[in-house]
Amino acid sequence: MKKTWKITALATAITIMSISVLGCGAKDNADTPASPAKESESGTEKTETEATESTESTDTAESADSGAASGDRVFTPYEETVEISSVKNLGSGVLEFPEGDSLEDNAWTRYLEETLNIKLNWNWSTNSEQYAQKVNIAITSNDIPDVMQVNSSQLKMMYDNEQIMDITDVMSENLAPYTEEVLNSDGGIALQAATFGGRLYAIPKIGSPLLTAKVLWVRTDWLEKLGMEPPKTVEDMRNLAEAFTTQDPDGNGADDTYGLAVYKDLYGSGYADLTGFFNAYNAYPSCWIEKDGGVVWGGVQPEVKEALTALNEMYNAGQLDPEFGVKDSNKVNEDVSAGRFGMMFGDFWNMAWINDAKINDPTFEWIPVAIPALNAGTPAKAQLSASTTDFYVISAECENPDAVVRMLNLQLEKSYGETAEPTVFNITPEGFGVYQYPAVALEPPMKNFTAAQKVSAVINGEAQTDTLNDEELGYYEMAVKSLDGDHTNNNWHQLKMFGPNGSLSVMFDEYWTPGNVVNDAYYAAPTETMTEKLPTLKKQQLQDYTSIILEGNMDKFDEFVINWNKLGGEEITQEVNDWYAAR
Amino acid sequence: MHKKSLGMKIFTIFNYTFLTLLALTCLLPMINQLAISFSSSSAVAAGDVGLFPVDFTLDSYKYMADKPEFWKSLMVSLKRILIAVPFSMIICVLAAFPLSRQDHEFPARKYYIWMFVVPMLIGGGLIPTYIVVRNTGLIDSIWALVLPYTVNVFNTILLMNFFRSLPKELEEAAYVDGATHWQVLVRIILPVSKPVLATVTLFVIVNHWNSWFDGLIYLNSPDHYPLQTYLQTQVVSANLMALESLRDIRQIGMISDRTGKASQIFLAAVPVLMIYPFLQKYFTAGIVMGSVKG
Amino acid sequence: MKKSKRRLKNWSLHLMLLPALILLLVYNYIPLVGNVMAFQKFNPSKGFFRSKWVGLKNFEYVFNLPDIYQVIWNTFYIAVLKIIMGVVIPVIVALLLNEIRKMKFKRTIQTMIYFPHFLSWVILAGVFVDVLSPSSGVIGKAFTAMGLEPVFFLGDPKWFPYTMVLTDTWKEFGYGTIVYLAALTGIDPSLYEAAVMDGANRWKQTLHVTLPGILPIVLLMSILAMGNIFNAGFDQIFNMYSPQVYSTGDILDTLVYRIGMLDAQYGVATAIGLFKSVISFAMLGISYALAYKYTDYRVF
């Protein structure tokens, strides 16, 4: 499968090259054989319009000052207005617009109409909490807009239902080089996840797998009080957990502190998430890992048993909240804010949830460190999950799929490309997040890490603020305010992410650069048995892990492994290995 | 009855104490939310707020007053109720009257009644209902929140039982005088049915006020959401959010704004709580006679 | 003669029913067609009539899930307890309230116990985790003070179902109480007077006059509740359960949520829904028949 994609990619590259080098005539030739039979009826008509566009494109290409190959036809307007319908995920809060603007009429929609003559129509919009639900309804009632953002199981379902278009050819004909570069920046893994039977069915909303790595957050005001150092090894971490529990780090005379924050579902939320703890023991409980030339489920490996043994010891020693088993991550967050915990594993953004506590008590201070090593000298490897969880699909009934691809080209180019205008299309000087307005939007996956490095360099006095773009400047300004003691408006949280030794720098320097990462070895759409049995298996795993931590009955783990295989795990492993071998 | 025995006195004291305590346990979480809504967000984050506000502030209410979405959705909810209540009442009363006739007067009644009972037990499910609402052209209209819920079977049964419990003499006399069914309903039945009408009105209001899921699926934009749907988008737990927005660092700034949530929860409950005492006095008779056949 | 004249005018009765029937037909009966999804591998682009028929495969799938019988039992157990408590507690509280002579007090209490109804489970779950905490919660502290081992209500599989029943009863008993209280007020005072004449004390009056007086409405409420025999309360349990109480706390709806809703397997979800409807239908029918047989009381 991967091979096929490579060929397609190669074809794309050749197509684009031939367009830019040879101009329109050659393009038509390259075009025709690639057209799928399905579209042949509209073929003639299409070629005509494209021919006109191409003629025009030569004019614009000459006048375009970028001079690069990207000034080709994919950035030229359609003859007649093309209407594209879509739906909008408004994000977590309310989407805000500059005075007079709206979702229907804003910088992006106007620019789209101007440059490409594409008019965007929104069928509906809702907040992220409800978005998946509305998409499910749209899919099941067959109310599909031209382009829609979906998650991986929805993608699989729509593919099975034949509701979405094979976009292999549309993509190869219309992709701008920069868009292609971004889409392939993870080595084609994300595109692979959107490929069925060798054909591409969706545009992956590519993300950086590195962002899913966990760090260990440690309370430094407690460290100082006890005269201890941030942990480097598992042993350090265990000692620290004990000290935080028994030595009254908050100095209130009461035995009310715990070493490590844990929540009821153990891992997956990204906050007080034990994934990092397991990783420290070389265990990877929620992903497929490569082992002995094949692929195995990390959750049933013997290393997990060691991590669970450790957790049970910590539980018995009172280093975990005895009631963690009923607390969800919001509840744990209340306890962390109230100063009950000294360490927690989690995502790079965790300080966002306790920024209020920092405002309340400025001495409250945390730092992120890399996952501690089991043996000093052998750094732990961080588990990376499939980072691409969302996809843009084009309806099987969409009349202008090429327009969707061109919208995407334009979005990437004007936001992050050479001709980018971040103050117009990313964040306005007044703080409006224009980047949230388009129907299809990607971003270069590693840009947050680049931003962290640049911001840190300026704070450390190694560079000037003029090296920062507007977005980075925003982070820099917030971080500096926090350094000056103003922690409000999430300033402190930004400092903890983008600042020197912030979470993003830790992840980049300690995991990415030295290659201390473990990728999820399975990244295709879920298999038949997975959809059917994985929820049950996951439930079983959680239930048994929890009871092992609480009761310390280690035989139960071996029992769990046997059960796991019996309840469908073996079957799924077989399917995954078949996929792995055929890759 | 006149002279209270000792046992009776002890019982009375126990009774008052017990009921007071019981009522207090019911009130505490609400008071806690109210206290949270009047406290500073940092005090709330630190878990300092119990039954009294800490660092008293009106910030969250001021914030709410400035929030156009909140007021917009409040207006949608009011509009919904103003449309739904009369509509629903008229149709349910019209249905309950024939159903309250005696079997021998209106033989078709026993078939009709089952047509009303069946939907109470078996539903078509979300998607088929959605498709029907879409095909009847109601998507993104306030009628999508009204029409599918107009015939409430439970309320109709309540009305029907109430009508059946009324003394027969008056209507018999009217029929003898040559009155039509319409005249009997409007002139004889309705004037004495205030209790049940008030009760059912309250039920309809509460149902419409509290339902949120329909708003979410039938309306196309948060601008059109009724209050509870809007609140649901604001108040639900931030758990899954973390994963979803992981990609987009700029969105992670969202914190569980608990003071804001608490004030919204409180504000949303107020209107119904205010209506309740007014209708309470009719409640008794409405329910009694609605469920007990005379 | 009178009868036939009345019969003639019955067309107006049909007419009155018409608007309600049309709405029922459109928004309740037509969607029933959707239940065919339970027997299909539903494909939206093909619709209800051209999707592939799979017979009972969705049901087989559901009943082959490991733990399914445990889950059905949990659902049934929690739901039945909730139905029982949902009748018993409000009746008791109504009886107690009925003894109160101070109207203002009575009315205030009535309004207060109706309050929790307005708080969502999302909010209450957070509150209960605090209140029921064995170490720091009010109730845990009370247990310790009395020298008892505090109970981990939300974390102990033995206790979890009862915690669900109690907290749900707490949230909803206010409504039931109002209903029963209303019924109590409606009892004919002459019946009490007669009982007093016969020398009945308060307790005897309650037993022989009050309880029979509210029996019809108790029956009505119970029969209607039978329709909920498999609704153990998704919102509540979903917000309060955790892996450590899955063995007694996982119910059909949470299972469907994990399997069906997240992946939108509507065939499976519909199959479970249909299964629940059939059982509820049967239970309702049986209780209706029993009530009619033994008390001669007809709800409909």
Q: What is the pLDDT of residues C10-50, one digit of tens each?
A: 888 999 999 999 999 999 999 998 888 889 888 888 888 88
pLDDT of residue C184: 80
Residues on chain C touching A322 (C-beta within 8 angstroms): 134-135
> Has residue A26 got a pLDDT over 70?
no
Contacts of A361 in chain B (CB under 8 A): 46
Residue A13, classified by CB atoms within 10 Å of its CB into exposed (0-12), middle (13-18) or buried (19+), is: middle
- pLDDT confidence of residue A117: 93
| Both structure tokens of A190 | 């994300």
- As a whole number of angstroms, the distance between CA B93 and CA B228 comes to 27
* Structure tokens, A443: 């971003």
pLDDT at residue B254 in the model: 41
Rounded distance between C-alpha atoms, residue B183 and residue B196, angstroms: 19
Give the pLDDT confidence score for residue B126 in this predicted structure: 78
Chain B stretch 61-80, residues whose beta carbon is closer than 8 A to a beta carbon of chain C: none
Identity of the amino acid at B260: G
Q: Would you state the structure tokens that stand for residue A96, as one six-digit string?
A: 């805000």
Q: Residue A160: its pLDDT value, please?
A: 87
Chain A nearest-CA distance from C242, in A, is 6
In the 8-state DSSP scheme, what is residue A510? I
Q: Tell me what pLDDT residue C282 has.
A: 86
Q: What is the pLDDT of residue C208?
A: 85
Rama region for B62: left / alpha / beta (φ>0; ψ in -120 to 50; rest): alpha
Query: What is the predicted pLDDT for the residue at C262?
Result: 58
Q: Do C26 and B181 touch (CB under 8 A)?
A: no
Between CA B54 and CA B43 the distance in angstroms is 6
Contacting residues of C for A140, CB less than 8 Å apart? 42, 44, 264, 266
Least confident of A252-256, C209-213, C294-298: C294-298
Residue A126 to chain B, least CA–CA distance (Å): 6
pLDDT at C1 over 70: no
Nearest chain B residue to C203, by CA: B8
Q: Which residues of B touch C24 (CB under 8 A)?
A: 115-116, 119, 151
* Backbone CA torsion sign across C99, C105, C108, C112: negative
pLDDT score for B288? 60
Spell out which residues of chain A touch residue C244, defining contact as CB-CB under 8 Å.
264, 325-326, 543, 546-547, 550
Confidence band (pLDDT; 50, 70, 90) for C138? Answer: confident
Q: From the list B130, B216, B255, which residue is nearest A352 (CB)?
A: B255
Contact across the interface for A126 and B241, Cβ inside 8 Å: no
Above 80 in pLDDT, residue B121?
no
C88: confidence class by pLDDT, cuts 50, 70, 90: very high
- What is the mean pLDDT of the segment spanning A472-486? 92
For residue C119, give the nearest of B12, B30, B131 by CB distance.
Answer: B30
Average pLDDT of A495-523? Answer: 93
- Rounded Cα distance between B122 and C282, Å, is 12
Confidence of residue C2 (pLDDT cuts 50, 70, 90): very low
The residue-averaged pLDDT of A390-416 equals: 93
pLDDT per residue as tens digits for the range A144-174: 999 999 988 889 889 988 999 999 999 999 9
Residue C241 CB: number of other CB atoms within 10 A? 21
Q: Residue written as tokens 């104490």?
A: B17
CB C149 within 8 A of CB C157: no
Where does the pLDDT of residue B287 fall: very low under 50, low under 70, confident under 90, or very high at 90 and above? low
Within 13 Å of residue A572, how many CA atoms lie on the same side as its CB? Answer: 25
φ and ψ of A82, to 5 deg: -105, 130
- Is the confidence at residue C239, as pLDDT, over 90? no
Q: Residue A11 region, left (φ>0) first, then alpha (ψ -120 to 50), else beta?
A: alpha
Does the beta carbon of A265 lie under 8 angstroms from any beta carbon of chain C? Answer: yes
The mean-pLDDT minimum among A20-29, B16-25, B217-226, C10-19 falls in: A20-29
Q: What DSSP assignment string belongs to A467-504? A: GS-HHHHHHHHHHHHHHTT--TTTHHHHHHHHSTT-HH
Of A357, A359, A358, A329, residue with least CA distance to A344: A329
Max mean pLDDT range (A326-340, A459-473, B133-147, C198-212)? B133-147
pLDDT for position A128: 75
Say how far apart CA B231 and CA A498 lie, in whole Å.
Answer: 33
What backbone phi and psi angles, to 5 degrees, belong to A291? -155, 130
Q: What percent of chain C has pLDDT over 90?
A: 22
Of the candidates B42, B236, B249, the beta carbon closest to that of A497 is on: B249
Give residues with Cβ within 8 angstroms of B152, minimum separation 6: B88, B92, B203, B204, B207
Query: Is the sign of the CA dihedral A165, A169, A172, A173 positive or negative?
Result: negative
B25: nearest Cα among C106, C83, C131, C99: C131
Q: Which residues in chain B touch residue A359, judged by CB atoms under 8 angstroms apart?
A: 42
Between C183 and B78, the higher pLDDT residue: B78
What residues of B are in contact with residue A328 (Cβ under 8 Å)?
237, 239
> What distance in Å separates the CA atoms of residue C159 and residue C192, rounded to the nearest whole number?
42
**Of residues B32, B125, B265, nearest to C273 (C-beta):** B125
- Cα-trace Rg, chain A: 26
Q: What b/e readout covers C104-122, taking b as 16+ CB neighbours within 10 angstroms?
A: eebeebbbbbbbbbbbbbb
H/E element holding A26?
Answer: helix A24-34
pLDDT bin (cut points 50, 70, 90) of residue A41 is very low
Vertex C288: Cα angle to C285 and C290 (nearest 5): 105
Q: DSSP 3-state assignment of A445?
A: coil
Exposure b/e, A134-165, CB count within 10 A at least 16 = b: bbbbbbbbbbbbbbbbbbbbbbbbbbebebbb
pLDDT digits (tens, 9 = 90+) for C191-208: 888 888 888 887 888 888
Q: Quote the CA–CA distance of C217 and B287 in Å, as a whole number.
A: 9
Q: Which residue of A has its CA nearest to C153?
A: A326
Residue C145 pLDDT greater than 60, yes or no? yes
Residues of B in contact with C10 (CB under 8 A): 105-106, 108
Confidence of residue C261 (pLDDT cuts 50, 70, 90): low
pLDDT value of residue C183 = 76
Give the tokens for residue A298: 């990390």
Instruction: Pick the residue from chain B with its C-alpha nearest to A446.
Output: B247
pLDDT in tens, A367-380: 999 999 999 889 99
Q: Which of A446, A436, A445 is nearest to A411 (CA)?
A: A436
β-strand pairing of A82-89 with A118-126: parallel
Lookup: tokens for A504: 């993003």
Give the sign of the dihedral formed by CA B34, CA B36, CA B40, CA B43: positive
Nearest to A141 among B127, B232, B252 (CB): B127
First to last CA, chain A: 6
**Is pLDDT above 90 for A571?**
yes
Q: Distance from C121 to chain B by nearest Cα, in Å? A: 10
Residues 139-158 of chain C whose Cβ lies under 8 A from any Cβ of chain B: none
CB contacts < 8 Å between A and C, how many?
Answer: 85
The pLDDT, as a whole number, for residue A93 is 60
Calculate the CA C228 to chain-centre distance: 5
More confident residue, B59 or A111: A111
C-alpha to C-alpha distances, B69 to A104, B263, C32, nearest whole angstrom: 18, 15, 36
Q: What's the pLDDT score for residue A149?
A: 94
Q: How far is B228 from chain A (nearest CA, A)?
A: 14
State which H helix or E strand residue A345 sits in. strand A341-346
pLDDT for residue A247: 94
HSE value, Cβ hemisphere, 13 Å, CA-based, for A166:
13
SS3 B293: coil
**ipTM exceeds 0.90:** no
Query: What's the count of helices (H) and strands (E) in chain C, helices before strands?
Result: 16, 2
Q: Which pLDDT tens digit goes with each residue over C163-176?
A: 999 999 999 898 78
C-alpha pair distances (Å), C31 with each of B126, B152, B228, B236 = 9, 16, 25, 29
What is the average pLDDT score of chain A? 84
| Tokens 């064995």 found at | C134
Neighbours of A110 (CB within 10 A): 11
Give pLDDT, residue C199.
83
Q: What percent of chain B has pLDDT over 90?
A: 22
A235-249, B246-260, C70-84, C182-196: lowest mean pLDDT where? B246-260
Kindly compute the dihedral angle of the four CA atoms of residues A413, A416, A420, A421, in this order, to the nearest 10 degrees.
130
The minimum CA-CA distance between C41 and chain B, rounded to whole Å, is: 15
**A103 or B241, greater pLDDT:** A103
DSSP A233: B
Beta bridge mates, A196: A199
Contacts of A549 (CB under 8 A, 6+ apart): A308, A311, A312, A315, A320
